[in-house]
Amino acid sequence: MADLVGLAEAIAAHVHDGDTVALEGFTHLIPFAAGNEIIRQGRRDLTLVRMTPDIVYDRLIGAGCARKLVFSWGGNPGVGSLHRMRDAVQNQWPAPLEIEEHSHAGMAVRWQAGASGLPFGILRGYVGTSLPFHTDTIANVTCPFTGEDLMAVPALNPDVGIIHAQQADRAGNVMMWGITGVQKECVLASTRAIVTVEEVVDAFEPHVNGVVLPSWVIDSVCVVPGGAHPSYAAGYSERDNPYYESWDPISRERESFEQWLAEEVMA
Amino acid sequence: MADLVGLAEAIAAHVHDGDTVALEGFTHLIPFAAGNEIIRQGRRDLTLVRMTPDIVYDRLIGAGCARKLVFSWGGNPGVGSLHRMRDAVQNQWPAPLEIEEHSHAGMAVRWQAGASGLPFGILRGYVGTSLPFHTDTIANVTCPFTGEDLMAVPALNPDVGIIHAQQADRAGNVMMWGITGVQKECVLASTRAIVTVEEVVDAFEPHVNGVVLPSWVIDSVCVVPGGAHPSYAAGYSERDNPYYESWDPISRERESFEQWLAEEVMA
Amino acid sequence: MTDPTYTSDDIMTIVAARALEPAAVTFVGIGLPSTAANLARVTTNPDCVLIYESGCIGSKPVRLPSSIGDGVLADNADAVIAVPEIFAYWLQAGRIDIGFLGAAQIDKHANLNTTVIGPYESPKVRLPGAGGAPEIAANCRRVIVTLRHSPRAFVEKVDFITSFGYGNGGDERDKLGLRGGPTDVITDLGVLQPDPVTKELVLTAVHPGVTIEQVQAATGWDLKTSSSIVETAAPTAGEMAALTALRNA
Amino acid sequence: MTDPTYTSDDIMTIVAARALEPAAVTFVGIGLPSTAANLARVTTNPDCVLIYESGCIGSKPVRLPSSIGDGVLADNADAVIAVPEIFAYWLQAGRIDIGFLGAAQIDKHANLNTTVIGPYESPKVRLPGAGGAPEIAANCRRVIVTLRHSPRAFVEKVDFITSFGYGNGGDERDKLGLRGGPTDVITDLGVLQPDPVTKELVLTAVHPGVTIEQVQAATGWDLKTSSSIVETAAPTAGEMAALTALRNA
């Protein structure tokens, strides 16, 4: 049953140095506030899992929280590069960053397998590409009925999964809607789960692609209005596209990033 | 793009002798009217696929439409046996009925694989049971990462998938809600798809577990109010439990069944 | 049954309801398991979470459902999801505490048969088949079984293992890597539980007015009796009232 | 570009929009592909179905989306679903007619690189990576690629095959069992298409005012020219107006 607690308390309770941590959200509902709190608490040696690292992981990587990144598309959406991620991969700054690289389809299958209690999942993917030569977590598997070769990828089962949703009810159940990405799978595949929400409501209304996660699969629910900024929460906010653009100059140089970090996160 | 046509026309166009046909719907939204129309049109040698054969397949089997049944639970829910199915399995009446028997979990994975364009799916299932000794479509597969043994089942890809939904819009998109079973997967896994609906509406409203299937994955949409009776369509009707009970005496003897068939379907 | 105020169905249901742990996440089959689980929910166990294979999580039906996909199971549920997800994301992933199963046959090592009496290829009686049972039996932390006692139902070896209990006993279940296993077999005469080592079902409780000999006579193998056998507490007036109210809702 | 009334982005977008077939189901990436697909939708191709990897099926955005998960893609969509389903049930199952991809590098046999320039372990430039591209390239009935011409972008061999085109050419793609393949590479200078047999990209169209030599100079391999090469029709006033309206919406 989910505790309703403050974000700092939830992160302190559930995110530890060396953990594998996933903050999911596909453009929409990215748990930025939780990411900043992990930076503030000085976590180190995290393995960060996320389909699109986005600004949220550019920050964590630049702040030195990560030792490994598991991902499938690492750009600043609509803008360009993630400079802190690039600096870590190309120049090992502020620390070497091991990468484990997949496609979106592969990561989605890995999340499904993780949520399903299976050790692996299968897909028609990666065939002919260079990815299997550089990523250990891609293997062949043969269909026992047709003899056809397919690709297998191992389940994702992080220590902690963190998402942002629109609403919780008073029992600690959580509801999100609109573009919901792999967030259900992230919560169900992770050993511990934290959900930040825009607000607590008395009862949920039906929504397009409404997804409810019951309280008893969540460890902590934290009310953090705007906790997805600069991404958005449909029904509550719009994506802050100018912010995504402004991240490019902030993150381009180590100095400007560190200044931002000191002023906007650590202050 | 789905044609809006009469049910007789849709069945005549898409269901042929010898086809593999699936009428899905998990207690809720069972396409009974479509099943009766298949009987009326005298189809033969069908392979019938459905998790719970229910009364809808008891009728088709008793009417001699089927040569094979692929299923996972063959009872009259809340009442007892499916007498026509039992008579076919035990006494080959009115025709021998080959059976391919799975568990619900296995059938659900088979539907998912079929909808995903994969030749097989995997699960933790059947272990220790007698099913693998009698069902060819259960095999072992080994995880290429952990070495663990799992079970594999082949995809379901019927020639025709038929479901009942609450609503279509004027573009031929279809919406169902509430308990939706494996119906989305059934439509997506089948080569051709027919959907019967309660009514056509101008626009869909959000609903709990609302599922929309776009027009272009459906071949025919047929307006058949009450087409799920004696099962039900949430928002439109209640399950007719007395009818399920009344089916027991109707179906128990060949004579009473044939009389029912002549009076209620063929008349 | 010596007490005329409750039926054998009543006591099976009430004893099964008592066996549910507080706030347990319970995967419920239709019929007696559903009645028992809802009895627990409306009486002593308001926080238990009922999950139905039709895709309903946290069902709070206002009346007893007449089928596994009854609309009342969806109406007040915490979530309603597709059937493939119920089996993969919820049952298989190990999120269920208690699975609640019936059966046509059970054997000495708690293997269950709901498929066929007699040979599979030429059955004497063709039963409904597996449904959700094999994976419920495999993936829950524990399984409670309810069925009526008779020598035809309680057999040395089931004709067909639809749902694996303990196989031939001992550590066979562990070796197959399955979770949990049947912990309670609740009948109209008493309660059987597996011996911790051999996994043979032994009689651990008899219902009021039932003798050990009666149970043994209704069991198709040489039923052993636990040294700590007890008599089931008779249904209380409160339990009976709640059960009646539930059935009439 | 000799015509001052349109930019190289304009003509790439307009030519790409023209390449969409009537009512095709199109899997759309963000940026130029999305602009082109929406231009087609609001002009000549109102029935084309736009699918975005964020889970939006039949998007009808009222303005151009600024990201793959922009709320306008969900607002009027026919359906919004989870990301695993988009890839498994829709893309992998072969329901998509046209995939629309960009790239940082493309080679002679239409293999695409969006992962890394230089060696993978010590990259010269680390690019965003695969995203949805490998499976879009593998599973659509055909693929349209848009990118700007330069010798660094159009190379003999890509440093990393993120998305498979035709490998080393010939029947290599068929042998791998992949659907479709790239049919049109639309650049700011012209259009390249694979030779039917060798699958080597050859120049089949040049945009107005562009010479074959200009295109060859901007290509990092010895670019062959189709015997039936044509000049692209210049953007019409109507196309330009629609594009401008779309961008300003």
Q: Does A152 touch chain B (CB under 8 A)?
A: yes
Q: Which residues of B touch A145 (CB under 8 A)?
A: 119-120, 137, 139, 152, 154
- What DSSP state is assigned to residue C232? P
Of C135, C172, C178, the CB nearest to B103: C135
Give the tens place of pLDDT for each residue, C188-238.
Answer: 999 999 999 999 999 999 999 999 999 999 999 999 999 999 999 999 999
Residues 151-190 on A with a CB inside 8 Å of C are 173, 184-185, 188
What pLDDT score does C5 carry? 84
Residue D184 has pLDDT above 90, yes or no: yes
* Contact between residue A41 and residue A63 where contact means Cβ atoms under 8 Å apart: no
Question: Could A143 and B137 be called an inter-chain contact, meaning their C-beta atoms sit closer than 8 Å?
Answer: no
| Mean pLDDT calculated for residue range D210-237 | 97
Picking from A51, A61, A73 by the largest number of D CB atoms within 10 A of its own CB, the best residue to mutate is A73
Closest among D165, D226, D231 to D199, alpha carbons compared: D165
Res. C4 pLDDT band, cuts 50 70 90 = low
What pLDDT score does C248 carry? 94
Q: Which residues of C touch A213 (CB under 8 A)?
A: 79
Copy the structure tokens of residue C47.
Answer: 């926080």
Of A118, A139, A154, the CB nearest to B122: A118
What pLDDT score does D66 carry? 87
**Separation CA B160–CA B16 (nearest Å):** 9
What pLDDT score does C68 carry? 87
| Mean pLDDT calculated for residue range D14-31 | 92
Question: Could B214 and D94 be called an inter-chain contact, meaning their C-beta atoms sit closer than 8 Å?
Answer: no
Shortest Cα–Cα distance, C113 to chain B (Å): 10
| Mean pLDDT calculated for residue range A185-213 | 98
Of A117, A139, A145, the CB nearest to B120: A145
Burial class (CB in 10 A: 0-12, 13-18, 19+), A136: exposed
What pLDDT score does D2 carry? 43
As a whole number, the mean pLDDT across chain C is 95
Closest among A152, A185, A184, A193 to A19, alpha carbons compared: A193
What pLDDT score does C143 carry? 97
Q: Which residues of B touch C161 (CB under 8 A)?
A: 128-130
Res. A267 pLDDT band, cuts 50 70 90 = confident
Give the tens place of pLDDT for each residue, B18-58.
Answer: 999 999 999 999 999 999 999 999 999 999 999 999 999 99
Q: Do chains B and C touch (3 or more CB pairs under 8 A)?
A: yes
Of B1, B116, B173, the CB nearest to D78: B173
**Separation CA B242–CA A231 (nearest Å):** 53
Q: Does B118 touch chain A (CB under 8 A)?
A: yes
Of A109, A124, A181, the CB nearest to D138: A124
Task: Provide the β-strand partners of residue D143.
Answer: D99, D182
ipTM of the complex: 0.97
Res. B83 pLDDT band, cuts 50 70 90 = very high
Q: Do chains D and B touch (3 or more CB pairs under 8 A)?
A: yes
Q: Does B191 touch chain D (CB under 8 A)?
A: no
Pairing mode, strands A192-201 and A160-169: parallel
Res. D1 pLDDT band, cuts 50 70 90 = very low
* Contact between residue C25 and residue A216 where contact means Cβ atoms under 8 Å apart: yes
Question: Could A144 and B120 be called an inter-chain contact, meaning their C-beta atoms sit closer than 8 Å?
Answer: yes
Question: Could A78 and D84 be called an inter-chain contact, meaning their C-beta atoms sit closer than 8 Å?
Answer: no
- Contacts of A85 by beta carbon, 8 Å cutoff, 6+ apart: A53, A57, A58, A61, A69, A74, A97, D126
Shortest Cα–Cα distance, C221 to chain B (Å): 21
Q: Which chains touch C (3 or more CB pairs under 8 A)?
A: A, B
∠ CA C125-C129-C133, rounded to 5°: 140
> Which residues in D have their CB inside 8 Å of a CB on B?
23, 25, 49, 57-58, 78-79, 88-89, 92-95, 139
* Contact between residue C35 and residue C64 where contact means Cβ atoms under 8 Å apart: yes
State how far Cα C94 lies from the chain centre.
18
Is the C-alpha dihedral spanning B31, B36, B37, B38 positive or negative? positive
Give the tens place of pLDDT for each residue, C52-95.
Answer: 999 999 999 999 998 888 999 999 999 999 999 999 999 999 99
CATH architecture of the domain D8-248 equals: 3-Layer(aba) Sandwich (3.40)
Q: Which residues of C touch B208 (CB under 8 A)?
A: 74, 80
**Separation CA B224–CA A51 (nearest Å):** 43
Length of chain D counted residue by residue: 249
Res. C6 pLDDT band, cuts 50 70 90 = very high
Q: Do chains A and B touch (3 or more CB pairs under 8 A)?
A: yes
Residue A248 has pLDDT above 80, yes or no: yes
The angle that helices C8-19 and C32-42 make with each other, rounded to 10 degrees, is: 60
Picking from A183, A186, A216 by the largest number of C CB atoms within 10 A of its own CB, the best residue to mutate is A216
Of C23, C25, C93, the CB nearest to A188: C93
* Contact between residue A37 and residue A8 where contact means Cβ atoms under 8 Å apart: yes
Q: Position of tokens 């505490």? A: C97
Q: Does B116 touch chain D (CB under 8 A)?
A: yes
Closest among D166, D238, D224, D165 to D190, alpha carbons compared: D224
Length of chain C counted residue by residue: 249
Q: Which chains touch B (3 or more CB pairs under 8 A)?
A: A, C, D
Residue D53 a catalytic site member: yes
Which residue in chain A has the smallest CA separation from D91?
A105
For residue B158, what are the CA distances in angstroms to A143, B20, B92, C189?
Answer: 19, 5, 24, 47
What pLDDT score does A60 carry? 98
For residue C230, what are the CA distances in angstroms to A156, C192, D175?
Answer: 47, 11, 70
| Mean pLDDT calculated for residue range C113-128 | 94
**Separation CA A70–CA A158 (nearest Å):** 11
Of D88, D134, D177, the CB nearest to A129: D134
Q: Does A26 touch chain D (CB under 8 A)?
A: yes
Closest among D183, D49, D90 to D37, alpha carbons compared: D49
C-alpha dihedral, A249 to A251 to A253 to A257, nearest 10°: 120
Give the tens place of pLDDT for each residue, A142-176.
Answer: 999 999 999 999 999 999 999 999 999 999 999 99
Give the tens place of pLDDT for each residue, B94-133.
Answer: 999 999 999 999 999 999 999 999 999 999 999 999 999 9
Res. D207 pLDDT band, cuts 50 70 90 = very high
Q: Which residues of C touch A1 (CB under 8 A)?
A: 23
Question: Could A118 and B150 be called an inter-chain contact, meaning their C-beta atoms sit closer than 8 Å?
Answer: yes
State how far Cα A267 lies from the chain centre.
24
What pLDDT score does D31 carry? 85
| pTM (two decimals) | 0.98
Does an H or E element contain A187, and which? helix A183-189
Closest among D209, C74, D237 to B239, alpha carbons compared: C74
Q: Does B115 touch chain D (CB under 8 A)?
A: yes
Closest among C215, C179, C181 to C200, alpha carbons compared: C181
Question: Could B214 and D92 be called an inter-chain contact, meaning their C-beta atoms sit closer than 8 Å?
Answer: no
Q: Which of C53, C135, C200, C239 is catalytic?
A: C53
Q: Which of D53, D135, D200, D239 is catalytic?
A: D53
With helix as H, strand as E and coil as C, how does D200-243 read? CEEEEEECCCCCHHHHHHCCCCCCEEEEEEEECCCCCHHHHHHH
- For chain A, which domains are there? 3-102+157-256 (3.40.1080.10), 104-154 (no CATH)
Shortest Cα–Cα distance, A85 to chain C (Å): 33
> Which residues in C have their CB inside 8 Å of a CB on A?
23, 25, 49, 57-58, 78-79, 88-89, 92-95, 139
* Contact between residue D19 and residue D227 where contact means Cβ atoms under 8 Å apart: no
Of A112, A173, A217, the CB nearest to C95: A217
For residue C52, what are the CA distances in angstroms to A117, B102, C74, C87, C101?
Answer: 19, 19, 9, 10, 12
* Contact between residue D78 and residue D132 where contact means Cβ atoms under 8 Å apart: no
Copy the structure tokens of residue D13.
Answer: 């977008």
What pLDDT score does D5 carry? 84
Give the tens place of pLDDT for each residue, B209-233.
Answer: 999 999 999 999 999 999 999 999 9
Copy the structure tokens of residue A37.
Answer: 């709190």
**Separation CA D10–CA A101 (nearest Å):** 34
A and B: number of Cβ contacts within 8 A: 70
Picking from C47, C60, C80, C90 by the largest number of A CB atoms within 10 A of its own CB, the best residue to mutate is C90
